[in-house]
Structure 1
Amino acid sequence: MERHFINLTFDLEEFDIPEEYGQKVSENNQMDVTLEGMNRLMRVLDKHDITVTFFTTGNFARKNPELVRNLAAKHEIASHALYHSPAHIFQQDDILISKQILESVSESRVTGFRMPRLAPFDESKLTEWGFEYDSSVNPTYLPGRYNLLHKNPLPYIEKGLIELPCSTTPFLRFPLFWLSFKNLPPAIYSSMCLRTLRKRKTLMLYFHPWEFADISSFKLPGFVKNNNGQKLTNRLDGLIQYLKSNKGEFVTCQQFCTQLKEKSYLLKSPWKI
Protein backbone atom coordinates (compact mmCIF):
# COMPACT_ATOMS: atom_id res chain seq x y z
CA MET A 1 0.00 0.00 0.00
CA GLU A 2 1.35 3.40 -1.02
CA ARG A 3 2.13 5.66 1.93
CA HIS A 4 1.49 9.39 2.09
CA PHE A 5 3.73 11.18 4.59
CA ILE A 6 2.87 14.48 6.27
CA ASN A 7 5.52 16.59 8.00
CA LEU A 8 3.64 18.99 10.25
CA THR A 9 6.26 21.43 11.53
CA PHE A 10 6.27 24.46 13.83
CA ASP A 11 8.92 27.16 14.10
CA LEU A 12 9.20 27.48 17.88
CA GLU A 13 10.61 30.96 18.24
CA GLU A 14 10.27 34.32 19.92
CA PHE A 15 7.23 36.35 18.84
CA ASP A 16 9.27 39.02 17.11
CA ILE A 17 7.24 39.64 13.96
CA PRO A 18 5.97 43.02 15.30
CA GLU A 19 9.56 44.28 14.90
CA GLU A 20 9.16 43.92 11.13
CA TYR A 21 6.36 46.50 11.34
CA GLY A 22 8.02 48.96 13.71
CA GLN A 23 6.50 47.74 16.99
CA LYS A 24 8.86 46.90 19.85
CA VAL A 25 7.88 43.97 22.06
CA SER A 26 9.92 42.99 25.11
CA GLU A 27 11.52 39.56 25.11
CA ASN A 28 9.37 38.52 28.07
CA ASN A 29 6.22 39.43 26.14
CA GLN A 30 7.54 37.64 23.07
CA MET A 31 7.95 34.47 25.12
CA ASP A 32 4.54 34.87 26.75
CA VAL A 33 2.78 35.09 23.39
CA THR A 34 4.56 32.00 22.09
CA LEU A 35 3.76 30.06 25.27
CA GLU A 36 0.09 31.05 25.05
CA GLY A 37 -0.01 29.69 21.51
CA MET A 38 1.81 26.54 22.58
CA ASN A 39 -0.85 25.79 25.19
CA ARG A 40 -3.56 25.79 22.55
CA LEU A 41 -1.43 23.97 20.00
CA MET A 42 -0.48 21.12 22.31
CA ARG A 43 -4.10 20.39 23.15
CA VAL A 44 -4.75 19.76 19.46
CA LEU A 45 -1.64 17.64 18.94
CA ASP A 46 -2.42 15.57 22.03
CA LYS A 47 -6.02 15.13 20.94
CA HIS A 48 -4.94 13.62 17.62
CA ASP A 49 -1.91 11.81 19.08
CA ILE A 50 0.41 12.77 16.25
CA THR A 51 4.13 13.50 16.23
CA VAL A 52 5.52 16.70 14.73
CA THR A 53 8.82 18.58 14.40
CA PHE A 54 9.55 21.78 16.31
CA PHE A 55 12.27 23.89 14.68
CA THR A 56 13.40 25.68 17.83
CA THR A 57 15.73 28.60 18.39
CA GLY A 58 18.54 28.09 20.86
CA ASN A 59 17.44 31.25 22.65
CA PHE A 60 13.91 29.94 23.18
CA ALA A 61 15.25 26.61 24.47
CA ARG A 62 17.55 28.35 26.96
CA LYS A 63 14.63 30.37 28.34
CA ASN A 64 12.17 27.44 28.35
CA PRO A 65 14.22 24.30 29.02
CA GLU A 66 11.51 22.27 30.75
CA LEU A 67 9.05 22.80 27.89
CA VAL A 68 11.59 21.79 25.25
CA ARG A 69 12.66 18.73 27.24
CA ASN A 70 9.02 17.64 27.60
CA LEU A 71 8.39 18.15 23.89
CA ALA A 72 11.39 15.98 23.01
CA ALA A 73 9.84 13.04 24.88
CA LYS A 74 7.35 12.61 22.00
CA HIS A 75 8.18 15.05 19.22
CA GLU A 76 11.31 15.96 17.27
CA ILE A 77 13.40 18.99 18.22
CA ALA A 78 15.29 20.54 15.30
CA SER A 79 17.29 23.76 15.04
CA HIS A 80 15.95 27.16 14.00
CA ALA A 81 19.30 28.89 14.59
CA LEU A 82 20.17 30.78 17.76
CA TYR A 83 17.89 33.82 17.52
CA HIS A 84 14.95 34.67 15.30
CA SER A 85 14.85 38.41 15.84
CA PRO A 86 16.39 40.55 13.06
CA ALA A 87 17.93 42.62 15.86
CA HIS A 88 20.50 39.83 16.23
CA ILE A 89 22.81 39.66 13.24
CA PHE A 90 23.08 36.05 12.07
CA GLN A 91 26.50 34.41 12.28
CA GLN A 92 27.30 31.02 10.72
CA ASP A 93 28.40 29.63 14.09
CA ASP A 94 24.92 30.40 15.47
CA ILE A 95 23.79 27.16 13.84
CA LEU A 96 26.32 25.04 15.73
CA ILE A 97 25.73 26.88 19.02
CA SER A 98 21.99 26.37 18.65
CA LYS A 99 22.47 22.65 17.99
CA GLN A 100 24.60 22.30 21.10
CA ILE A 101 22.06 24.13 23.27
CA LEU A 102 19.13 22.14 21.89
CA GLU A 103 20.84 18.79 22.36
CA SER A 104 21.80 19.68 25.92
CA VAL A 105 18.34 20.95 26.85
CA SER A 106 16.29 18.30 25.05
CA GLU A 107 18.63 15.43 25.85
CA SER A 108 18.13 14.23 22.27
CA ARG A 109 20.04 14.30 19.01
CA VAL A 110 19.33 17.24 16.70
CA THR A 111 19.63 16.37 13.00
CA GLY A 112 17.53 19.00 11.21
CA PHE A 113 17.79 22.72 10.49
CA ARG A 114 15.57 25.49 9.19
CA MET A 115 16.86 29.02 8.66
CA PRO A 116 14.80 31.83 10.22
CA ARG A 117 12.57 33.46 7.60
CA LEU A 118 13.91 30.86 5.14
CA ALA A 119 16.67 33.34 4.35
CA PRO A 120 19.64 32.33 2.19
CA PHE A 121 22.62 30.97 4.10
CA ASP A 122 25.77 28.88 3.62
CA GLU A 123 24.83 25.21 4.03
CA SER A 124 28.38 23.92 3.56
CA LYS A 125 29.02 23.07 7.22
CA LEU A 126 25.69 21.45 8.10
CA THR A 127 26.80 17.88 7.43
CA GLU A 128 30.13 18.51 9.18
CA TRP A 129 28.19 19.66 12.25
CA GLY A 130 26.04 16.52 12.28
CA PHE A 131 22.92 17.68 10.48
CA GLU A 132 21.21 15.21 8.16
CA TYR A 133 18.55 17.42 6.61
CA ASP A 134 17.58 21.02 5.94
CA SER A 135 14.12 22.51 5.40
CA SER A 136 14.89 26.10 4.44
CA VAL A 137 13.62 26.12 0.85
CA ASN A 138 10.18 27.33 -0.18
CA PRO A 139 10.23 26.64 -3.94
CA THR A 140 7.87 29.40 -4.95
CA TYR A 141 7.84 33.13 -5.70
CA LEU A 142 7.03 35.55 -2.89
CA PRO A 143 7.41 39.22 -3.83
CA GLY A 144 9.93 40.95 -1.60
CA ARG A 145 11.12 37.65 -0.10
CA TYR A 146 12.47 35.23 -2.68
CA ASN A 147 12.05 33.73 -6.12
CA LEU A 148 12.87 30.03 -5.88
CA LEU A 149 10.86 28.67 -8.77
CA HIS A 150 14.06 27.07 -10.06
CA LYS A 151 14.33 24.93 -6.93
CA ASN A 152 13.28 21.30 -6.83
CA PRO A 153 9.85 21.01 -5.10
CA LEU A 154 10.47 17.39 -4.05
CA PRO A 155 12.84 15.97 -1.42
CA TYR A 156 16.36 15.59 -2.77
CA ILE A 157 19.97 15.12 -1.70
CA GLU A 158 22.55 17.82 -2.32
CA LYS A 159 26.14 17.43 -1.13
CA GLY A 160 25.15 14.71 1.30
CA LEU A 161 22.34 16.76 2.87
CA ILE A 162 18.67 15.84 2.48
CA GLU A 163 16.62 18.88 1.51
CA LEU A 164 12.96 18.85 2.53
CA PRO A 165 11.31 21.74 0.64
CA CYS A 166 8.21 23.39 2.02
CA SER A 167 5.16 22.29 0.09
CA THR A 168 3.75 24.10 -2.89
CA THR A 169 0.94 22.89 -5.12
CA PRO A 170 2.06 20.71 -8.08
CA PHE A 171 0.62 23.26 -10.49
CA LEU A 172 1.34 26.98 -10.26
CA ARG A 173 3.64 26.40 -7.25
CA PHE A 174 1.19 28.05 -4.86
CA PRO A 175 2.76 28.03 -1.36
CA LEU A 176 0.97 26.04 1.34
CA PHE A 177 2.69 27.97 4.11
CA TRP A 178 1.31 29.64 7.22
CA LEU A 179 -0.13 32.71 5.53
CA SER A 180 -2.15 30.57 3.14
CA PHE A 181 -3.45 28.54 6.07
CA LYS A 182 -4.55 31.70 7.88
CA ASN A 183 -6.14 33.53 4.97
CA LEU A 184 -7.68 30.98 2.61
CA PRO A 185 -11.07 29.43 3.36
CA PRO A 186 -10.38 26.20 5.29
CA ALA A 187 -12.07 23.96 2.71
CA ILE A 188 -9.93 25.38 -0.11
CA TYR A 189 -6.68 25.14 1.85
CA SER A 190 -7.41 21.58 2.98
CA SER A 191 -8.28 20.53 -0.55
CA MET A 192 -5.04 22.00 -1.91
CA CYS A 193 -3.06 20.13 0.76
CA LEU A 194 -4.75 16.83 -0.08
CA ARG A 195 -4.19 17.23 -3.82
CA THR A 196 -0.54 18.01 -3.20
CA LEU A 197 -0.18 15.03 -0.88
CA ARG A 198 -1.71 12.64 -3.40
CA LYS A 199 0.45 13.96 -6.22
CA ARG A 200 3.76 14.31 -4.33
CA LYS A 201 3.21 11.51 -1.75
CA THR A 202 4.59 13.96 0.80
CA LEU A 203 3.45 17.20 2.43
CA MET A 204 5.65 19.66 4.33
CA LEU A 205 3.66 22.30 6.23
CA TYR A 206 5.05 24.94 8.56
CA PHE A 207 3.33 27.19 11.09
CA HIS A 208 4.31 29.08 14.26
CA PRO A 209 3.01 28.48 17.80
CA TRP A 210 2.49 32.24 18.32
CA GLU A 211 -0.16 32.20 15.58
CA PHE A 212 -2.43 30.29 17.96
CA ALA A 213 -2.22 33.02 20.60
CA ASP A 214 -4.50 36.06 20.65
CA ILE A 215 -2.39 38.59 18.74
CA SER A 216 -5.26 40.88 17.75
CA SER A 217 -3.96 43.78 19.88
CA PHE A 218 -0.63 44.04 18.05
CA LYS A 219 -0.07 46.48 15.20
CA LEU A 220 0.24 43.93 12.43
CA PRO A 221 -1.20 43.73 8.92
CA GLY A 222 -4.52 41.96 8.65
CA PHE A 223 -3.04 39.11 6.63
CA VAL A 224 -0.69 38.34 9.55
CA LYS A 225 -3.19 38.40 12.41
CA ASN A 226 -6.31 37.16 10.65
CA ASN A 227 -7.84 34.08 12.28
CA ASN A 228 -5.45 33.97 15.22
CA GLY A 229 -5.97 32.41 18.64
CA GLN A 230 -8.72 29.85 19.19
CA LYS A 231 -10.20 30.39 15.74
CA LEU A 232 -6.95 29.34 14.08
CA THR A 233 -6.58 26.49 16.57
CA ASN A 234 -9.96 25.18 15.43
CA ARG A 235 -8.76 25.39 11.83
CA LEU A 236 -5.71 23.29 12.67
CA ASP A 237 -7.90 20.74 14.43
CA GLY A 238 -10.04 20.46 11.32
CA LEU A 239 -7.06 20.24 8.96
CA ILE A 240 -5.45 17.42 10.91
CA GLN A 241 -8.72 15.50 11.08
CA TYR A 242 -9.27 15.96 7.34
CA LEU A 243 -5.81 14.72 6.39
CA LYS A 244 -6.01 11.79 8.81
CA SER A 245 -9.37 10.74 7.36
CA ASN A 246 -7.74 10.70 3.91
CA LYS A 247 -4.99 8.31 5.02
CA GLY A 248 -2.29 10.91 5.65
CA GLU A 249 0.48 9.60 7.91
CA PHE A 250 1.96 12.19 10.27
CA VAL A 251 5.68 11.68 10.90
CA THR A 252 8.56 13.81 12.13
CA CYS A 253 11.07 15.09 9.62
CA GLN A 254 13.70 12.69 10.95
CA GLN A 255 11.30 9.74 10.63
CA PHE A 256 10.57 10.81 7.06
CA CYS A 257 14.28 11.02 6.24
CA THR A 258 14.70 7.47 7.52
CA GLN A 259 11.96 6.34 5.15
CA LEU A 260 13.57 8.22 2.28
CA LYS A 261 16.90 6.48 2.83
CA GLU A 262 15.50 3.02 3.52
CA LYS A 263 12.98 2.94 0.68
CA SER A 264 14.96 5.00 -1.85
CA TYR A 265 12.11 7.47 -2.22
CA LEU A 266 14.44 10.31 -3.10
CA LEU A 267 13.99 11.83 -6.52
CA LYS A 268 16.07 10.09 -9.18
CA SER A 269 14.49 11.43 -12.36
CA PRO A 270 13.90 14.91 -13.78
CA TRP A 271 11.03 16.72 -12.07
CA LYS A 272 8.35 18.89 -13.57
CA ILE A 273 6.85 22.05 -12.13
Structure 2
Amino acid sequence: MKAVLSFDLEEFDIPEEYGQKVSVQDQMEVSARGTDALLNLLDRYGIPATFFTTGHYARENRPLMARVAARHEIASHALYHSPFHDFQIEDVRESKEILEALTGQEVVGFRMPRLKPFDLSKLAAWGFEYDASLNPTWLPGRYNLLHENPQPHIREGLIELPSSTTPLLRFPLFWLSFKNLPVRLFAWLCYRTLRKRDFLILYFHPWEFASLAAYQLPSYVKRVDGERLLARLDFLIRYLQKRGVTFTTSRDYCRREMPQIADLSR
Protein backbone atom coordinates (compact mmCIF):
# COMPACT_ATOMS: atom_id res chain seq x y z
CA MET A 1 0.00 0.00 0.00
CA LYS A 2 1.49 3.29 -1.19
CA ALA A 3 0.49 6.76 -0.05
CA VAL A 4 1.52 10.17 -1.36
CA LEU A 5 1.38 13.34 0.71
CA SER A 6 1.22 16.26 -1.71
CA PHE A 7 1.27 19.97 -0.92
CA ASP A 8 0.36 22.86 -3.19
CA LEU A 9 3.13 25.37 -2.44
CA GLU A 10 1.66 28.62 -3.68
CA GLU A 11 0.99 32.23 -2.85
CA PHE A 12 -1.40 32.55 0.11
CA ASP A 13 -4.13 34.25 -1.90
CA ILE A 14 -7.24 32.45 -0.67
CA PRO A 15 -8.43 35.45 1.43
CA GLU A 16 -8.81 37.37 -1.82
CA GLU A 17 -11.54 34.94 -2.85
CA TYR A 18 -13.48 36.30 0.13
CA GLY A 19 -12.76 39.97 -0.44
CA GLN A 20 -9.74 40.48 1.81
CA LYS A 21 -6.63 41.96 0.23
CA VAL A 22 -3.37 40.30 1.27
CA SER A 23 0.02 41.90 0.65
CA VAL A 24 2.52 40.08 -1.53
CA GLN A 25 4.83 39.83 1.48
CA ASP A 26 2.13 38.16 3.59
CA GLN A 27 1.26 35.79 0.76
CA MET A 28 4.85 34.62 0.71
CA GLU A 29 5.47 34.55 4.46
CA VAL A 30 2.34 32.64 5.48
CA SER A 31 3.14 29.84 3.03
CA ALA A 32 6.80 29.88 4.13
CA ARG A 33 5.89 29.49 7.82
CA GLY A 34 3.63 26.57 7.05
CA THR A 35 6.23 24.96 4.80
CA ASP A 36 8.90 25.24 7.47
CA ALA A 37 6.65 23.46 9.99
CA LEU A 38 5.79 20.74 7.48
CA LEU A 39 9.42 20.09 6.56
CA ASN A 40 10.32 19.64 10.22
CA LEU A 41 7.56 17.05 10.63
CA LEU A 42 8.41 15.17 7.43
CA ASP A 43 12.10 15.16 8.35
CA ARG A 44 11.26 13.63 11.71
CA TYR A 45 9.61 10.67 10.02
CA GLY A 46 11.94 10.53 7.02
CA ILE A 47 8.98 10.80 4.65
CA PRO A 48 9.30 12.13 1.09
CA ALA A 49 6.46 14.25 -0.29
CA THR A 50 5.54 16.05 -3.50
CA PHE A 51 5.37 19.86 -3.52
CA PHE A 52 3.40 21.28 -6.44
CA THR A 53 4.94 24.74 -6.63
CA THR A 54 4.12 27.84 -8.65
CA GLY A 55 6.97 29.34 -10.61
CA HIS A 56 6.29 32.75 -9.04
CA TYR A 57 6.49 31.41 -5.50
CA ALA A 58 9.71 29.56 -6.25
CA ARG A 59 11.40 32.65 -7.73
CA GLU A 60 10.56 34.72 -4.66
CA ASN A 61 11.59 32.08 -2.09
CA ARG A 62 14.79 30.52 -3.37
CA PRO A 63 16.39 29.46 -0.04
CA LEU A 64 13.15 27.75 1.00
CA MET A 65 12.94 25.98 -2.35
CA ALA A 66 16.46 24.66 -1.92
CA ARG A 67 15.46 23.15 1.42
CA VAL A 68 12.31 21.57 -0.02
CA ALA A 69 14.11 20.17 -3.06
CA ALA A 70 16.83 18.57 -0.93
CA ARG A 71 14.47 15.77 0.21
CA HIS A 72 11.22 16.09 -1.70
CA GLU A 73 9.85 16.06 -5.22
CA ILE A 74 9.22 19.41 -6.88
CA ALA A 75 6.36 19.49 -9.37
CA SER A 76 4.66 22.32 -11.22
CA HIS A 77 1.60 24.22 -10.00
CA ALA A 78 1.65 26.60 -13.00
CA LEU A 79 3.17 30.07 -12.93
CA TYR A 80 0.78 31.96 -10.63
CA HIS A 81 -1.98 30.77 -8.32
CA SER A 82 -4.05 33.94 -8.22
CA PRO A 83 -7.60 33.60 -9.60
CA PHE A 84 -7.03 37.00 -11.23
CA HIS A 85 -4.16 35.73 -13.36
CA ASP A 86 -5.14 34.93 -16.93
CA PHE A 87 -3.83 31.37 -17.20
CA GLN A 88 -2.21 30.35 -20.47
CA ILE A 89 -1.05 26.81 -21.19
CA GLU A 90 2.45 28.15 -21.87
CA ASP A 91 2.57 29.09 -18.18
CA VAL A 92 3.04 25.39 -17.46
CA ARG A 93 6.17 25.10 -19.56
CA GLU A 94 7.58 28.34 -18.11
CA SER A 95 6.97 27.16 -14.56
CA LYS A 96 8.74 23.87 -15.32
CA GLU A 97 11.77 25.75 -16.64
CA ILE A 98 11.88 28.02 -13.58
CA LEU A 99 11.57 25.14 -11.11
CA GLU A 100 14.21 23.04 -12.82
CA ALA A 101 16.65 25.94 -12.98
CA LEU A 102 16.16 26.81 -9.29
CA THR A 103 16.18 23.29 -7.82
CA GLY A 104 18.25 21.19 -10.22
CA GLN A 105 15.42 18.63 -10.28
CA GLU A 106 13.71 17.20 -13.32
CA VAL A 107 10.10 18.39 -13.05
CA VAL A 108 7.73 15.76 -14.44
CA GLY A 109 4.44 16.40 -12.62
CA PHE A 110 1.75 19.06 -12.84
CA ARG A 111 -1.33 20.10 -10.87
CA MET A 112 -3.59 22.88 -12.11
CA PRO A 113 -4.36 25.68 -9.61
CA ARG A 114 -7.79 25.14 -8.06
CA LEU A 115 -8.01 21.96 -10.17
CA LYS A 116 -9.63 23.92 -12.97
CA PRO A 117 -10.10 22.23 -16.35
CA PHE A 118 -7.40 22.89 -18.93
CA ASP A 119 -5.97 21.45 -22.14
CA LEU A 120 -3.23 19.01 -21.12
CA SER A 121 -2.47 17.76 -24.64
CA LYS A 122 0.94 19.53 -24.77
CA LEU A 123 2.29 18.38 -21.41
CA ALA A 124 3.79 15.07 -22.52
CA ALA A 125 5.74 16.79 -25.30
CA TRP A 126 7.17 19.20 -22.72
CA GLY A 127 8.56 16.34 -20.62
CA PHE A 128 5.77 15.86 -18.11
CA GLU A 129 5.02 12.28 -17.06
CA TYR A 130 1.92 12.74 -14.94
CA ASP A 131 -0.92 15.12 -14.13
CA ALA A 132 -2.58 15.36 -10.71
CA SER A 133 -5.34 17.87 -11.49
CA LEU A 134 -8.33 15.53 -11.28
CA ASN A 135 -10.57 15.26 -8.21
CA PRO A 136 -13.14 12.62 -9.22
CA THR A 137 -15.90 13.73 -6.88
CA TRP A 138 -18.74 16.24 -6.61
CA LEU A 139 -18.02 19.58 -4.97
CA PRO A 140 -21.10 21.84 -5.00
CA GLY A 141 -20.42 25.07 -6.86
CA ARG A 142 -17.11 23.84 -8.30
CA TYR A 143 -17.40 20.63 -10.29
CA ASN A 144 -19.11 17.28 -10.65
CA LEU A 145 -16.58 14.66 -11.80
CA LEU A 146 -18.24 11.52 -10.50
CA HIS A 147 -18.02 10.05 -13.99
CA GLU A 148 -14.20 10.17 -13.96
CA ASN A 149 -11.93 7.19 -13.25
CA PRO A 150 -10.79 7.37 -9.58
CA GLN A 151 -7.78 5.12 -10.19
CA PRO A 152 -4.45 6.08 -11.83
CA HIS A 153 -4.90 5.85 -15.60
CA ILE A 154 -3.63 7.21 -18.92
CA ARG A 155 -4.84 10.43 -20.50
CA GLU A 156 -3.21 12.38 -23.34
CA GLY A 157 0.02 10.40 -23.01
CA LEU A 158 0.28 11.12 -19.27
CA ILE A 159 -0.39 9.19 -16.12
CA GLU A 160 -3.41 10.77 -14.45
CA LEU A 161 -3.13 10.59 -10.66
CA PRO A 162 -6.58 11.47 -9.33
CA SER A 163 -6.94 12.86 -5.83
CA SER A 164 -8.20 10.08 -3.61
CA THR A 165 -11.85 9.55 -2.87
CA THR A 166 -13.50 6.80 -0.88
CA PRO A 167 -14.85 3.76 -2.74
CA LEU A 168 -18.53 3.81 -3.69
CA LEU A 169 -19.55 7.23 -2.32
CA ARG A 170 -16.54 9.08 -3.78
CA PHE A 171 -16.16 11.19 -0.64
CA PRO A 172 -13.11 13.44 -1.22
CA LEU A 173 -10.07 12.81 0.97
CA PHE A 174 -8.53 16.23 0.63
CA TRP A 175 -7.58 19.26 2.70
CA LEU A 176 -11.09 20.36 3.66
CA SER A 177 -12.24 16.95 4.84
CA PHE A 178 -8.93 16.49 6.68
CA LYS A 179 -9.54 19.52 8.86
CA ASN A 180 -13.32 19.22 9.26
CA LEU A 181 -13.78 15.50 9.95
CA PRO A 182 -12.67 13.91 13.22
CA VAL A 183 -9.07 12.94 12.55
CA ARG A 184 -9.58 9.29 13.48
CA LEU A 185 -12.46 9.02 11.03
CA PHE A 186 -10.40 10.64 8.27
CA ALA A 187 -7.49 8.28 8.97
CA TRP A 188 -9.81 5.26 8.90
CA LEU A 189 -11.30 6.37 5.57
CA CYS A 190 -7.80 6.72 4.14
CA TYR A 191 -6.84 3.23 5.27
CA ARG A 192 -10.09 1.74 3.98
CA THR A 193 -9.47 3.40 0.62
CA LEU A 194 -5.93 2.01 0.55
CA ARG A 195 -7.17 -1.50 1.29
CA LYS A 196 -9.55 -1.29 -1.67
CA ARG A 197 -7.31 0.54 -4.15
CA ASP A 198 -3.69 0.06 -2.95
CA PHE A 199 -2.98 3.73 -3.60
CA LEU A 200 -3.70 7.02 -1.84
CA ILE A 201 -2.83 10.57 -2.85
CA LEU A 202 -3.80 13.36 -0.46
CA TYR A 203 -3.35 17.07 -1.04
CA PHE A 204 -3.00 19.98 1.33
CA HIS A 205 -1.54 23.52 1.29
CA PRO A 206 1.44 24.61 3.39
CA TRP A 207 -0.35 27.84 4.35
CA GLU A 208 -2.89 25.74 6.28
CA PHE A 209 -0.13 24.81 8.72
CA ALA A 210 0.44 28.46 9.69
CA SER A 211 -1.87 30.55 11.88
CA LEU A 212 -4.83 31.93 9.91
CA ALA A 213 -6.48 33.84 12.75
CA ALA A 214 -5.81 37.25 11.19
CA TYR A 215 -7.63 36.48 7.94
CA GLN A 216 -11.29 36.67 6.98
CA LEU A 217 -11.92 33.10 5.94
CA PRO A 218 -14.91 30.80 6.43
CA SER A 219 -14.72 28.65 9.54
CA TYR A 220 -14.48 25.46 7.50
CA VAL A 221 -11.25 26.81 5.94
CA LYS A 222 -9.50 27.98 9.10
CA ARG A 223 -11.19 26.23 12.02
CA VAL A 224 -8.16 23.93 12.40
CA ASP A 225 -4.84 25.46 11.42
CA GLY A 226 -1.22 25.84 12.49
CA GLU A 227 -0.01 23.55 15.25
CA ARG A 228 -3.40 21.86 15.64
CA LEU A 229 -3.42 20.85 12.00
CA LEU A 230 0.19 19.74 12.21
CA ALA A 231 -0.78 17.46 15.11
CA ARG A 232 -3.48 15.93 12.91
CA LEU A 233 -0.98 15.20 10.17
CA ASP A 234 1.38 13.67 12.73
CA PHE A 235 -1.45 11.37 13.86
CA LEU A 236 -2.34 10.42 10.28
CA ILE A 237 1.25 9.50 9.45
CA ARG A 238 1.62 7.33 12.56
CA TYR A 239 -1.79 5.70 11.99
CA LEU A 240 -0.94 4.66 8.44
CA GLN A 241 2.64 3.62 9.17
CA LYS A 242 1.46 1.29 11.93
CA ARG A 243 -0.70 -0.44 9.33
CA GLY A 244 2.14 -1.04 6.91
CA VAL A 245 1.60 1.91 4.60
CA THR A 246 4.69 3.23 2.78
CA PHE A 247 4.95 6.89 1.81
CA THR A 248 6.38 7.85 -1.56
CA THR A 249 6.34 10.73 -4.06
CA SER A 250 4.06 11.04 -7.05
CA ARG A 251 7.04 10.72 -9.41
CA ASP A 252 8.38 7.57 -7.72
CA TYR A 253 4.94 5.99 -7.66
CA CYS A 254 4.57 6.50 -11.40
CA ARG A 255 8.03 5.18 -12.21
CA ARG A 256 8.08 2.22 -9.83
CA GLU A 257 4.47 1.10 -9.75
CA MET A 258 3.56 1.99 -13.36
CA PRO A 259 6.95 1.74 -15.12
CA GLN A 260 5.68 0.75 -18.55
CA ILE A 261 3.40 3.78 -18.64
CA ALA A 262 6.08 6.10 -17.28
CA ASP A 263 8.47 4.98 -20.03
CA LEU A 264 5.90 5.76 -22.68
CA SER A 265 5.23 9.25 -21.33
CA ARG A 266 8.89 10.30 -21.06
Q: Please indicate, yes or no, whether the TM-score normalized by the shorter chain is above 0.5.
A: yes
> Corresponding residue for 2:8?
11
Report if the CA contact (8 A) 2:165-2:173 is conserved. yes
Cα offsets for 1:97-142 (capped at 9, x unmatched): 0000000001110000000000000001000111000000000000
Report if the CA contact (8 A) 1:79-1:95 is conserved. yes
TM-fit CA distance, 1:70: 2.3
The aligned runs of 1:30-109 (5 Å cut-off) are 30-109=27-106
Report if the CA contact (8 A) 2:109-2:129 is conserved. yes
Alignment TM-score, normalising by the size of structure 1: 0.94
Cα offsets for 1:250-272 (capped at 9, x unmatched): 0000100012333889xxxxxxx
Report if the CA contact (8 A) 2:120-2:156 is conserved. no
Q: Is residue 129 from structure 1 mapped to residue 123 from structure 2 by the alignment?
A: no
Q: Distance in 1 between matches of 2:128 and 2:172?
A: 26
Seen in structure 2, the aligned counterparts of structure 1 residues 263 and 191 have a Cα distance that, compared at 3 Å, is: farther
Seen in structure 2, the aligned counterparts of structure 1 residues 121 and 263 have a Cα distance that, compared at 3 Å, is: closer
The aligned runs of 1:1-273 (5 Å cut-off) are 4-262=1-259
Q: Distance in 1 between matches of 2:101 and 2:260?
A: 32
Report if the CA contact (8 A) 2:76-2:95 is conserved. yes
Report if the CA contact (8 A) 1:211-1:225 is conserved. yes
Paired residue type of 1:107: G
Paired residue type of 1:53: T
The range that moved more, 53-62 or 152-161, is 152-161
Cα offsets for 1:153-205 (capped at 9, x unmatched): 00001231100000000120000010000100011000000000111000010
Q: Distance in 1 between matches of 2:36 and 2:201?
A: 23
What SS class does the counterpart of residue 86 from structure 1 fall into?
Answer: coil
Report if the CA contact (8 A) 2:39-2:68 is conserved. no
Paired residue type of 1:185: P
> Corresponding residue for 1:268?
none
Alignment TM-score, normalising by the size of structure 2: 0.96
TM-fit CA distance, 1:42: 1.2
Bigger share in helix: 2
Report if the CA contact (8 A) 1:9-1:54 is conserved. yes
Q: Distance in 1 between matches of 2:217 and 2:19?
A: 9
Paired residue type of 1:218: Y
Q: Distance in 2 between matches of 1:187 and 1:252?
A: 24
What SS class does the counterpart of residue 123 from structure 1 fall into?
Answer: coil
In the comparison of the two structures, how many residue pairs are matched?
262
Q: Distance in 2 between matches of 1:101 and 1:108?
A: 11
Q: Distance in 2 between matches of 1:9 and 1:16?
A: 19
What SS class does the counterpart of residue 152 from structure 1 fall into?
Answer: coil
Aligned-residue identity in percent: 58
What SS class does the counterpart of residue 238 from structure 1 fall into?
Answer: helix
> Corresponding residue for 1:269?
none
Runs of 4+ in 1 over 3 A off after TM superposition: 262-265
Paired residue type of 1:250: F
Q: Distance in 2 between matches of 1:228 and 1:30?
A: 16
Report if the CA contact (8 A) 1:69-1:107 is conserved. no
- Name structure 1 gaps, 5 residues minimum: 266-273
Report if the CA contact (8 A) 2:11-2:82 is conserved. yes
